[in-house]
Structure formats: structure tokens, C-alpha cells
Amino acid sequence: MQDNRVLVTGGAGFIGSNLANHLATDNHVIALDNGYLGTGENLDDAVEYVEADVLDEELPTDVDVVFHLAALSSRQMLEENPREGARVNIEGFVNVVEQASDDGCDTIVYASTSSAYGSRTEPSPEDMELEAATGYDASMLGRERYGEYYNEFYDDLTCAGMRFFSVYQGYGGNEQHKGEYANTVSQFTDQIANGDPPVLWGDGSQTRDFTHVDDIVRGLVATAEHELAGVYNLGTGDPYSFNEMIDLINQTLGTSVEPEYEPIPLENYVHDTCADISRIHEATGWEPQVSFADGVRRVCEPYLQDD
């Protein structure tokens, strides 16, 4: 993408700031964020930062492309405040799309969720039957239903929903601001580097399709460039267990910190995830470039430099 005016909502957050900083090299990028999960410190000077909320009546939507990443983005957040979660995740999406459409923007790429696939060791395709096992799932699937509506009934408007799989970067990047909501790769690496045993639920055999944020950014950009509509997975199709993750972190750091194990405290716990990425690959040619071993090395690098 070049020479476009771009709005990234949730633009000071983890994924949003990585995307905004990447695009700002060749585009005019506005990062809109209310500061709840993001911070302006994540953004490069080339990015225009607007502190506002996606529920506001007047937003800077006079742009060519909107990347709508703003959301209350975890199960826990929705359980603590379900009404606010529904407002932000569904009404906030509708508000942004309506204002952008009124301003002549015809390309919307938005964050959805892969958690609605439930627990699967086989690759999950976009057309499989989904289940809203949590309020977070329900809110993001509601967002997808609105995306379908806009694609069907709004002329010259394309909405593409991206189902992210376990996105990580590490505390040496913009993920650090997420704190307790950061990916387990980042949290466990920080704990192990400081000599603290990470706590794993169950026996550590659960798997995640860990996807580096650089690959997510590339996928988002490719989706906008191709003006795709519908929903698409962004993952690797190559999941790792938590035990394998801990072994790889220890190997990379040169440590031998053993994890502790606790019973799984949640109902509807997703034990395994795996993305089928054939649809996004066929539509854009995108495929992940950062292997998990390389990604873990990147996460560990700041701790190795401190030694």
C-alpha cells in the first residue's frame, strides 16, 4: 500500500501500532485509540495519533482504508463487563463502518476471532460451524454478521474479517503494554528469563497456532490491497504445545526453568487451535514467514542482550 490515507482503530494497541508503524512509511496513517489497551508510546512519530473512542459521534473516517482493530479483546474483559464489551465490539464496529461509508471509504478490514472454532487439532476452515461459547465469541461473531450485511447491501463497500490465531511479539516490542493480556509466549519468556517458573494449566499438552505479529501485519495489508470481502484466517497451520514452547524458550535463553502445573480453572477452555490458511493464501498469496523457532528467538533477544 502506498499514498493512501489510512485509519487504524485500536491503533496504539499491540497489533494496531505494529500495523500503523509499518504503513506510515508510505501512507498517511491515523491511529485512533482511547488509551485503554494502547499507548501513544507504541507509535512512531510519522503516525498521527488521535485519542478518541470508536463509539464517538465524529471520527476521522475520511480515509481510503479502515483497519478496525479496536475491541475488548479477551474472554475475561467480556465476563467482567458484558454490556460494555457488546457496545465496543459490535456497536463500535457499526459506528466506524457507517461513518467511513458516509465519508466515501470503500475498504474495511476488521479484527474478528478464531476462538469461536472451539478446540480443534485439525486445521479449522472459515466455513465450518461456529459456536459462541463465551461473550467475547458472541460479540465478535456479531461483528461478522454485520460484516456480511455490509458486503451484501452496501454498494462499493468491502468488509473483510480477520480471525487471528495467538498473535505474539514479545516484551521487546509493543506487546509489553498488554501486560496480563499478552500472549503466553511473551509472559512465559519474561518469567523464565527472570528465573520464575511459568504456570501451565493441565499437563501443558494444549496447543496454540502461535502467529508472529509481523505475519499478521502482512496479512492485513494484503487483504486491504486485494479489497477482499468475507472472513479469513491468519495463522500458521503449525501449532505447538505449551510444553514445547517452554522447552524452546529454555533452549534459546540457555536456561532450565521448569514449569508448574495447575488444574484448568475454566469451563469451555479451548485446548487446541490450528488454522486452515488456504483461503487467504489462494486470495492473496499470503503465507506466514516467521517460524515459531525464529519468533521465540526474537522474543528472547532482549533478555540475551541484557546479559
131 and 119: one domain?
Answer: yes
81 and 137: one domain?
Answer: yes
Q: Tell whether 138 is covered by a domain.
A: yes
Q: Tell whether 281 is covered by a domain.
A: no
Q: Tell whether 282 is covered by a domain.
A: no
Q: Tell whether 280 is covered by a domain.
A: no
pLDDT of amino acid 201: 95
pLDDT digits (tens, 9 = 90+) for 47-85: 999 999 999 999 999 999 999 999 987 778 777 888 988
Compute the chain's Rg from CA coordinates.
19
pLDDT digits (tens, 9 = 90+) for 12-47: 999 999 999 999 999 999 999 999 889 999 999 999
Has residue 106 got a pLDDT over 90?
A: yes
28 and 131: one domain?
Answer: yes
Has residue 108 got a pLDDT over 90?
A: yes
pLDDT of amino acid 9: 98
107 and 189: one domain?
Answer: no
User: What three-state secondary structure class fits 40?
Assistant: helix
185 and 196: one domain?
Answer: yes
Q: Tell whether 114 is covered by a domain.
A: yes
Kindly report the CATH number assigned to the domain that includes residue 270. Answer: 3.90.25.10
In the sheet that 28-33 helps form, which strands lie side by side, from edge to edge? 48-51, 28-33, 5-9, 65-68, 107-111, 158-164, 230-234
Cβ count near 293 (within 10 Å) = 12
39 and 147: one domain?
Answer: yes
91 and 191: one domain?
Answer: no
242 and 176: one domain?
Answer: yes
160 and 264: one domain?
Answer: no
Query: How many domains would you assign to the chain?
Result: 2
Residue 247's domain spans which residues? 168-208+238-274+289-306
119 and 242: one domain?
Answer: no
Catalytic one of 49, 110, 136, 232: 136
pLDDT digits (tens, 9 = 90+) for 231-266: 999 999 999 999 999 999 999 999 999 999 999 998
- Tell me if residue 136 is catalytic: yes
58 and 202: one domain?
Answer: no
Dihedral Cα 122, 127, 130, 135, nearest 10 deg: 110
Give pTM, 2 decimals. 0.96
